[in-house]
Amino acid sequence: MPRVAIVTDSTSSLSAADAAAEGISVVPLQVIIGAEVYTEGVDVTSDMISDALASFVPVNTSRPTPDDFLNVYQRLAEEGADAIVSVHLSAKMSGTLDSALLAAKESPVPVTCIDSTQVGIATGFAAGRAAEARDAGEDVAGVADAARRAGESSTCLLYVDTLEYLKRGGRVGAAAALIGSALAVKPILTIRDGLVVPLERVRTQAKALARLEALAVESAQACDKGFQIGVQHLSSPAIAEAVAGRLSTALAIDPIAVDEVGASIGAHVGPGMISVSVTPRC
C-alpha cells in the first residue's frame, strides 16, 4: 500500500498544530501590503490586513509558485511518501491549483491535485477528509475521492459588511457590488461551482446573521451521516462567537470552533466578514 502524503495551501485555514496533528503539509500564499511582501502563516496577521484595508493601503495576494510546491513534494518523497494528494482552493478563484499541477509534472512521486471548489475552512475540511481516508488505509484514488467529495458537497455561507473588497479583488461582479451599495443591503454570499455568488440580500446585519444561521442549520440538518461545521471571521470575534453559540444550541452539538480567516482570504472579504462552512460526512 503506497504511503500517501497530503498537501494543501494556506487558504485552508488549518493551524500549524492541526496540520501537524493530521499529517498535512501546508504551502503558503504570499500577501502584498503596499510594497511589502509577506508569507501567510509566517509574518502577516489578519489584523495587519484589516488595518491596511481601513487605511486604503493596497492589499493583494499571490499564489505559491510551482517551485514552492515542488520543494514540498520533493521533501515528502525524501521522507518516504510514495504518492501525494494535493488539495486546494477553487481554481476559479486562484491560480494556486495551476501551480500545483505544474509542480506535479516534475515531482519524483505521483501527485493527484484536487480542486476543492471551496475556500477557507471548507478546503481545510476536504484536506482533513483526505487525511482520514489515508489513515483508514485507502489507496491514492480513495484518498483523492474523499477530498473531492468533501469539497463538492460542502456549503459555505458568508456575510460581509460590503461587497467592495470582493469587487476590488475580482471575486464578485461590479454590478452585484453596485446594487448592494445602492440599496444599502447586507449581502449573504455562497460558493457555487467554485465562485463567490450572491445568495440573498437582507436589510440589517442582525437579520442577515439570523438568516445565515438559519441556512447553516438547514444545511447541517440535511446531512444524514453527520457533518463538520466551522465559523470564521475577520476582525469580528465577538459576533462570530455569538453566531457559533447559537448554532451550537440549534444543532445540539458541542461548542463550534471559531477561527479568524487567514490574511489571504481577509484581503478579499474585508473586516466584518462572518462565514459558516458545513461539510457532510459521506
CA torsion through residues 82, 87, 91, 95, sign: negative
Largest Cα–Cα separation, the chain: 58
36-39 and 155-159: which strand pairing?
unpaired
For residues 114 and 98, what is the distance between their CA atoms, to the nearest angstrom?
11
Any idea where the domains of the chain sit in the sequence? Answer: 4-29+64-152, 155-280
pLDDT at 151 over 50: yes
Q: What is the pLDDT at residue 54?
A: 87
pLDDT at 146 over 80: yes
Instruction: Kindly report which listed range (140-154, 171-185, 189-203) carries the lowest average pLDDT score.
Output: 171-185
Residue 169: what pLDDT? 55
Distances in whole angstroms, Cα of residue 282 to Cα of each of 24, 30, 150, 151: 21, 34, 8, 11
Question: Would you state the pLDDT for residue 24?
Answer: 98
168: confidence class by pLDDT, cuts 50, 70, 90: low
Closest by alpha carbon to 54, among 267, 206, 261, 274? 267
Indicate the pLDDT class of residue 270, thresholds 50, 70 and 90: confident
Three-state SS at 45: coil
Which position has the higher pLDDT, 172 or 255? 255
Q: What is the CATH number of domain 4-29+64-152?
A: 3.40.50.10170
Top pLDDT among 261 and 282 is at 261
* Span 85-92, average pLDDT: 97
Question: What average pLDDT does this structure show over 104-110?
Answer: 98
Query: In the predicted model, is pLDDT for residue 177 greater than 50?
Result: no
Nearest to 239 by CA among 262, 210, 215, 266: 210
Can you give the pTM of this predicted structure?
Answer: 0.92
Say if residue 132's pLDDT is above 70: yes
Which residues, 6+ apart, have CB-to-CB distance to 280 below 8 Å?
Answer: 153, 154, 222, 223, 224, 225, 226, 227
pLDDT tens, position by position, 182-196: 446 788 999 999 998
Percent of the chain residues past pLDDT 90, beyond the cut: 80
3-state secondary structure of 72: helix
> pLDDT tens digits, residue range 22-55?
999 999 999 999 999 999 999 999 899 999 998 8
Kindly state the cell numbers that stand for 69.
510546491
pLDDT number for residue 229: 98
Under 8 Å CB-to-CB from 161, ≥6 apart: which residues? 186, 205, 270, 271, 272, 273
pLDDT of 97 over the 90 cut: yes
pLDDT for the residue 179 = 44
pLDDT tops 80 at residue 282: no
Q: Per CATH, is 155-280 categorized as 3.30.1180.10?
A: yes
Report residue 163 CA to chain centroid gap.
18
